[in-house]
Structure 1
Amino acid sequence: MFQYLPPLNEHNLPYPDTIHPIVIHFVLAMIFFAFFCDIVGYFTKNTRLYEVSWWNLAFATVSIFIAIIFGQIEAGLAEPYQAAADTLNLHTLLGWSLAGILAGVTGWRYVIRLREKEQLPTAYMVVSVLTLLIVCIQTYLGTALVWIYGLHSIPVVDAIREGGL
């Protein structure tokens, strides 16, 4: 069965480069932009921005699951060494949690949208800020996996293959 799979390249991937960071950056942009639209709409009472926010959240919720799928594949192929394993495990756990939280926030936002509220509830805005805080922590962990631990970078992949890590 394994002979039908493509060989792994110098990044230890079956495709040219990591896909997870590409997809997740779209998710991050949509989450931050949705929050920005909610804040501006909240203070300016411009309800059209709430519609923009809703659609950004809806697409971000779908896209985060795509990002997680590629993240799981790439994490499995990374062969993390001991120093990176705890950060990778926390990043994975927080990623799945964030997907659930984002789905819940999006569902809540959908109910608010159906009720055609002129103003977003303060509780929703507080939860949005907490969600953004989790997004920032998750972004830091993902950045550390690449820039501190070097997962899927050629020197680290070479060192793992040679038994150096």
Structure 2
Amino acid sequence: MFEYLPPLNDHNLPYPDTIHPIVVHFVIAMVLFGVFCDILGSLTRNPRLFEVGWWNLFFATLSIFIAVLFGQVEAGLSEPYAAARSALNIHTLLGWSLSAILAGITAWRFIIRSRDPQTLPKAFLGVGVLLSALVFYQVYLGDKLVWVYGLHTVPVVEAIRDGALR
């Protein structure tokens, strides 16, 4: 069965480079910009910014599921060594959690938008700030996996293949 799968490259991937970071950076930007637009729209009383915030949140919600899918595949192919496992496990759990949280917040936002597109409750803005904090923590964990533990970098992949890392 495994002979039908493409061979893994020097990044331990069946394709040229990691896809998860590309998609996830899109999600990060959309969430943070959406929250920023909502807060700015509330401060300036400009409902057009609420529309920008809504569409950013909507597309971030669609995209996060693609990011989580590629994240799962690439995490499995990374063959994490002992020191990286804890951070990878938390990053994975938070990624799945964020997809559910973001979907819930987007559904809430849809209801708010359907009832009154001209205002946003302060509670929603507060949840947006908390969502941003979770996103920043997730970014920290992802950066740690790449820049500290070197997952999917050529030297670390070679060390794992040679048995130097377990």
* Range into which the TM-score falls when normalised by the shorter chain: over 0.9
TM superposition shift of 1:79: 0.2
TM superposition shift of 1:95: 0.5
TM superposition shift of 1:117: 4.1
TM-score normalised over the length of structure 1:
0.99
Identity %: 65
Question: 2:157 is matched by which residue type in structure 1?
Answer: V
Deviation readout 1:31-55 (Å, 9 max, x if unpaired): 0110111011001110011111111
Question: 1:65 is matched by which residue type in structure 2?
Answer: F
- Distance (Å, rounded) in 2 between the aligned partners of 1:3 and 1:43: 59
Deviation readout 1:79-127 (Å, 9 max, x if unpaired): 0000000000000000001111100110010001101242210111111
The number of aligned residues is: 165
Matching residue of 2:65: 65
Q: Which runs of 4+ in 1 moved over 2 A?
A: none
Counterpart contact for 2:12–2:152, Cα < 8 Å: yes
Structure 2, unmatched stretches of 5+, are: none
Matching residue of 1:132: 132
TM-score normalised over the length of structure 2:
0.98
Question: 1:131 is matched by which residue type in structure 2?
Answer: L
For residues 1-165 of structure 1, the aligned pairs below 5 Å read 1-165=1-165
- Distance (Å, rounded) in 2 between the aligned partners of 1:147 and 1:136: 16
Question: 1:69 is matched by which residue type in structure 2?
Answer: L
Counterpart secondary structure, 2:59: helix
Question: 1:6 is matched by which residue type in structure 2?
Answer: P
Structure 1, unmatched stretches of 5+, are: none
